Amino acid sequence: MKLARLLVALLIVLAGTLLTVIAVFSVRPDLSALPSQSATLSAPRADSLRIQWLGTSSLLVSDGQTHIITDAYFSRIDKLASVTRPMAPDVGRIDAALKASNIEKVDVIPVLHSHFDHVLDSPWVAMRTGADLAGSESTLNVGRGAGMSEQQLKLAIPGEPMRYGDFEIIFLLSDHVPQAEWINRLTGINETIDEPLTPPAPIDAWKEAESYALLVRHPYGDVLIQGSAGFVEGQLEGYQADIAFVSSVGLSRQEQGYVPDYVRNTVGATGATTVIPIHWDDFFVALDANTPALPRVMEDLHASFNLLNGELEKLGTSLTYMRPMETIYFRTSPEQIAP
């Protein structure tokens, strides 16, 4: 009888704990207060760069002839599965995302580091669209594990341009945003993937390897893509960008002084006047126009945005916001209106 009562009490405690966890992860930032995109950036133009945010640090950048996707990740494996089961690309979600964005042909997929939410789907998207896969040796080992040909695998050499049509892409050394030590161990911060990696594979197999910032140059304008909210002091000095896509996840948890240094070494170094935060969406849920932000227990979105805006105001600019699947049209010109 005592054992039965003990089991009932234990079940009640477990149920209460589960409900508490569910409740905590259900609290999300309100996105309704985010300003809408300016008419200048949202109006389609033939003679401009088309840039679509595909969630996380995945961006489609196209001039109509040549197409680039950074960090193609569409499987968006849920939170529990990501830490309890080996991960593999969800082909159905990949195909649905490509169809939703009318993506049939891609020229290159630059991968900015080798965590699962950046590299997992990239080889499969490359093979479906005929793209090259570009990145660190670890990223290329993911491509090899997926069965890509060596001809499609392009090793990133920091500072050395790669040309695709009228685009020039340059990988520049960066760093991952600082995070808790247990997360570092789980996700292989500063570790490499030394053999071809064939999914399914557990979360700790998708190691960071090198982290990069990517500079995308084009006659219509120069774009900086910062895939993680880390930086290497002085690495972007001497490079110019008109528009910067900066990862914001993790900024609300940093020590005082970190965000000023982050902004100074990215936006400040390149002189970008249009600045758009990325990688704030909940990448553990399916991608669509209504994809929410990460739960507040994982990231204080508005605190991160406020910290960024506080530093950007010193540079005479502020954040411009995009929602998942939104597209902007950008060209550097005298009539380009700053946000």
Residue type, position 10, single letter: L
pLDDT of residue 170: 99
Query: If we measure between CA atoms, which residue out of 284, 327, 275 comes closest to residue 54?
Result: 327
Whether residue 135 is predicted with pLDDT greater than 60 in this model: the reply is yes
- Residue-wise pLDDT for 75-133, tens only, equals 999 999 999 999 999 999 999 999 999 999 999 999 999 999 999 999 999 999 999 99
Whether residue 46 is predicted with pLDDT greater than 90 in this model: the reply is no
pLDDT of residue 201: 98
Query: If we measure between CA atoms, which residue out of 334, 338, 328, 244 comes closest to residue 62?
Result: 328
- Residue-wise pLDDT for 225-252, tens only, equals 999 999 999 999 999 999 999 999 999 9
**Helix locations, 85-227, DSSP H:** 91-100, 116-119, 122-129, 137-146, 181-187
Q: Percentage of the chain with pLDDT > 90?
A: 83
Q: Which CATH number fits domain 38-330: 3.60.15.10, 3.40.50.620, 3.90.1170.50, 3.90.1150.10?
A: 3.60.15.10
Pairing of strands 67-69, 212-217: unpaired
pLDDT of residue 24: 42
Whether residue 12 is predicted with pLDDT greater than 50 in this model: the reply is yes
Structural domain boundaries in the chain: 38-330
Is the model's pTM score more than 0.85?
Answer: yes
